[in-house]
A and B are shown apart, each in its own frame.
Chain A
Amino acid sequence: MFKEYEPINKKMFQIIDNDGKIINKKYMPELSDELILKAYKDMLFARTADQMIVSYQRQGRIYTYPPNYGQEAISGAVVQIMRDQDWLVPAFREMGAYLAKGASLKEIFLYFMGYEDGVNFKNAENFLPYAVPIASQLIHAAGIGYEIKYRKKDQVVFTFVGDGGTSEGDFHEALNFAGVWKAPVVFIVQNNQYGISTPFRVQTASDGIAIKSYAYGIKGIQVDGNDFFAMYKAVKESFEHAKAGEGPVLIEAVTYRKGAHTTSDDPTKYRTKEEEESWDAKDPLKRLKAYLTSKKLYSEKEEEKLIEEFKKEIDRQFVEAENYGEVALEDVFKYTYADMPTDLREQMIEHEKFLQWKNARN
């Protein structure tokens, strides 16, 4: 696969077309119907949750949130391969991956409601908090990769960034370190065509991102990020490559951010409706669903029922998050250092005295 789809050949790796038909049999992964169906349901759950969060935000029940809409196949494929012991080093637009790693929806809600507790991920191992400073997380993935090699562990690191993030120096440094160390890291660039309002052509003069892999002496591949099977195959091969000690892989997943950058953003300022609609035919769920229905593995009727169930579960967890309660004053202080310095403790005590005065006064 890597050989045939060398980035220099400028051939994007695809397996199904927009109608869910297999157009590249040679690389079609051998997957059970159950797994494919599960993957679809994972993606559908992620999409339903994503859409509900956006509406919660519109209702003023949650703060700024970065929608995943249109990009679900990327995380959707990764999570079928990522094992419990593997590392997930996220950016902030990979909800499917968080859920599979063991984050609860409630935790995801908590974070975007403004609780630090939301990135504690109580039931997930080897999962770093989201990285808002663009591309900075990629270097951490390389460092984790070093530890895995050093201790000869059976682990792989999956890390994500967007196309905008590839402009940061940290992107270069991460690939360079990981390449030199042959670190077991799978770098996944979600090329969704926009960094907020900035289109890909303004971001880089490069012909895609995968081609940059040559400069670091690592494997690279450009994949149709809206094609679940292509993503599965590419991630699986990359995972095996990294796991075998052959070094990191750079996957460019070509996709489209159908939603806004975040709920604070207004895409009508910088792109046309025609452009947005032109990507509807390539929608990742629509394509996988077409495949499943053609195999009689799934039906619209089932979908309606599923969405209803999902919505109930999502709302249940949302309401739980809404009732999480207040953040105690001490929580603002106590995670700053292993042992709270005296000076800092005094600031807290002084503030408590003020609060007592204030309460007595009111």
Chain B
Amino acid sequence: MKKIMNMVNAINDALDIKLSEDERIIVYGEDVGVEGGVFRVTEGLQQKHGVERVFDSPLAESGIAGTAVGMAVAGLKPVIEMQFSGFANPAFNQVVSHVSRMRNRSRGKYTSGMVIRMPYGGGINALEHHSESLEAIWAHIPGLKVVIPSTPHDAKGLMIAALESEDPIWFMEPKRIYRAIKQEVETEKFSIPIGKAKVIQEGTDVTVVAYGAMIREVQKAAVLAKKEGISVEIIDLRTIYPIDRETIAQSIKKTGRIITVHEAIKTFGVGAEISALANEEAFLHLEAPPKRVAGFDVIVPLPKGEQHFMISPEKIFYEILRTVKY
């Protein structure tokens, strides 16, 4: 059976299904219980699964992540929420020093399998520290897997996979499209493998890799490109790390051109990794230099300056043209 869902509904559905079948799962964070989260992603879960399994925590991100380590080594499966990606920073020490390392440090005796979920990204006229895209920082930490869905369907499937993973999963939710995209999603349990990218549009002239809220922008750019007779292949990365080198390399070998699009700042970002991958895996197939369309290396501006920072379909189209005409 299928049901129309937005991303908020889809993640809620995944959590609901797993809470029902896995007693180890504990969902907590700031305002996730009674209120159901500031974006209502966990709405109704406390009523259904009880206050011992879904609850509000004190306002302390390091405490949330650190207690989750304790729960995980003792055999529970915590799903913790960082209210905004920009507020996850106090948890940095716990995540880098413990969450990501527990398996290695204990030589596999203990693990800190958990899901750390958070809304991220710009474009919603938010206050300071509410618009960052810090996936490259988290992807740089050995032991963490970083997942970013771009549709309700993917959000559900990836969340189920995250809840069934033995590793800690850093699950970033593009809040700009929390409610903007609705689609039919299966109501049954299904999962989408972590670590696999997906070719969501086949093309022959240029490969564009993106994820999260940028997928929609890339799709719009591809329409503009098509009018100019340019055929764009679009890859939705879905998982930032482990990165799916094979899918990307294969596509570059076919098109000979690669552009990465992300909202996160450019330098030392995911696009740099993909450009390196292109050189390492498909150097002789390249007909143009690998290109990045990314945020400037600045603090995300407040709403009145944000339009300068956000990546438009036209900007992507512009870089597609330059790459194809190189």
B 108-149 to A, binary, CB cutoff 8 A, 1 in contact else 0? 000000000000000001111110000000000000000000
Write out the residue numbers on chain A whose beta carbons fall within 8 Å of the beta carbon of B283. Answer: none
Q: Are B127 and A63 in contact (CB under 8 A)?
A: yes
Q: Are A202 and B56 in contact (CB under 8 A)?
A: yes
Q: Are B31 and A336 in contact (CB under 8 A)?
A: no
Distance from A62 Cβ to chain B, minimum over Cβ atoms (Å): 10
Q: Which of A116, A133, A204, A270 contacts B302 (CB 8 A)?
A: A116
Q: Let me know if A344 is at the binding interface, CB within 8 A.
A: yes
Q: Are A167 and B304 in contact (CB under 8 A)?
A: no
Pull 25 A–B residue pairs with CB atoms less than 8 Å apart, ordered by A.
Answer: A63-B125, A63-B126, A64-B125, A113-B303, A115-B305, A116-B302, A133-B87, A134-B59, A134-B87, A168-B59, A168-B60, A168-B62, A168-B90, A197-B56, A198-B56, A198-B59, A202-B56, A202-B57, A203-B58, A264-B38, A332-B301, A332-B309, A344-B296, A351-B296, A354-B315
Q: Which of B34, B57, B87, B267 contacts A343 (CB 8 A)?
A: B267
**What is the CA–CA distance of A343 and B272 in the complex, to the nearest angstrom?**
15
**What is the CA–CA distance of A204 and B314 in the complex, to the nearest angstrom?**
50
Known: A114-B305, A133-B86. 15 other contacts (CB 8 A): A63-B126, A64-B126, A115-B305, A133-B129, A134-B59, A195-B30, A196-B35, A197-B56, A202-B56, A204-B58, A327-B305, A332-B305, A344-B296, A344-B298, A358-B314
**What is the CA–CA distance of A326 and B302 in the complex, to the nearest angstrom?**
12
Q: Let me know if B98 is at the binding interface, CB within 8 A.
A: no
Nearest B-chain residue to A113, judged by Cβ = B304
Name the interface size band of chain B.
35 or more
Q: Are B302 and A195 in contact (CB under 8 A)?
A: no
Q: Are B297 and A195 in contact (CB under 8 A)?
A: no
* Closest 8 A/B residue pairs (Cβ): A114-B303, A327-B305, A167-B58, A197-B35, A164-B59, A114-B304, A114-B302, A167-B59
**What is the CA–CA distance of A63 and B297 in the complex, to the nearest angstrom?**
25
Write out the residue numbers on chain A whose beta carbons fall within 8 Å of the beta carbon of B31. Answer: 195-198
Nearest A-chain residue to B59, judged by Cβ = A164
Q: Are B297 and A344 in contact (CB under 8 A)?
A: yes
Q: Which of B57, B90, B125 contacts A169 (CB 8 A)?
A: B90
Distance from A137 Cβ to chain B, minimum over Cβ atoms (Å): 12
Q: Let me know if A214 is at the binding interface, CB within 8 A.
A: no
Considering only residues 113-134 of chain A, those with a C-beta below 8 Å from chain B are: 113-116, 130, 132-134
B 7-22 to A, binary, CB cutoff 8 A, 1 in contact else 0? 0000000000000000
**What is the CA–CA distance of A114 and B318 in the complex, to the nearest angstrom?**
28
**What is the CA–CA distance of A351 and B298 in the complex, to the nearest angstrom?**
13
Considering only residues 240-282 of chain A, those with a C-beta below 8 Å from chain B are: 264-265, 269-270
Write out the residue numbers on chain A whose beta carbons fall within 8 Å of the beta carbon of B298. Answer: 332-333, 336, 344
**What is the CA–CA distance of A127 and B60 in the complex, to the nearest angstrom?**
26
Q: Which of B30, B59, B297, B304 contacts A326 (CB 8 A)?
A: B304
Write out the residue numbers on chain B whose beta carbons fall within 8 Å of the beta carbon of A64. Answer: 125-127
Q: Which of A130, A168, A170, A196 contacts B38 (CB 8 A)?
A: A196
Distance from B62 Cβ to chain A, minimum over Cβ atoms (Å): 6
**What is the CA–CA distance of A357 and B304 in the complex, to the nearest angstrom?**
23
**What is the CA–CA distance of A270 and B30 in the complex, to the nearest angstrom?**
13
**What is the CA–CA distance of A270 and B90 in the complex, to the nearest angstrom?**
26
